[in-house]
Structure 1
Amino acid sequence: MKVAAGVLLAGLILATALSLVWTREQARQLDLAVHDQRDRLQRLETEWGRLQLERATLAARSRVERLARERFDMHSPESGEIWDFRP
């Protein structure tokens, strides 16, 4: 009976040790995943800021006006070219 209890106890200790090793490895893997996601988030935030700056540059009034003049031969209207339709 004592031998069976000793074997059972040794088995439980071994199972606990293996469980501890497995749990620590899982925690390490999750920690690596968290760090990878934080790095990805930082890269995406940097790209988002760059894209916002690019959008602001492309939508700048001076650029739009210059492109309208160059590409579409547009110009500011003279006073005789403005029509007023208000009642």
Structure 2
Amino acid sequence: MRTFLLLVLVTGVLGSAVGVVYARHLHRQAYIALSGLEHDRDELNIDFGRLQLEQATWSEANRIEQVAGNRIGMRYPTDDDIVVLQP
């Protein structure tokens, strides 16, 4: 009986030790995945900031004016082009 109890306790201790090792292994894997995701998040935030700056640059009024004049030939109307209608 005593040997059986000792065997059960040793098996329980070994099983518990294996469980602890496995849990630590899972924890390390999750931490590595978290670190990778945080790095990806930081890179995406940098890209997003860069894109916001680029959008702000491309949408400035003088840039739009320049593109409108050069690419599609838009220009401000002259006085002769303006017609005032009276009600």
Percent sequence identity over matched residues? 30
Q: Distance in 1 between matches of 2:80 and 2:26?
A: 77
TM-score by length of 1: 0.90
Partner of residue 77, structure 1: 77
Q: Distance in 2 between matches of 1:81 and 1:8?
A: 100
SS in 1 for 2:65: helix
Q: Which runs of 5+ in 1 are unaligned?
A: none
1:18 paired with 2:39, answer no
Q: Which runs of 5+ in 2 are unaligned?
A: none
What is the identity, as a one-letter code, of the residue corresponding to 1:76? Y
What does 1:54-73 correspond to in 2, within 5 Å?
A: 54-73=54-73
Partner of residue 30, structure 1: 30
Count of matched residue pairs: 87
Q: Distance in 2 between matches of 1:15 and 1:86?
A: 95
Deviations 1:24-49 (A, max 9, x none): 11111111111111101100000000
SS in 1 for 2:74: coil
1:40 paired with 2:40, answer yes
Shift of 1:79: 2.8
What's the RMSD between the two structures over aligned residues? 1.6
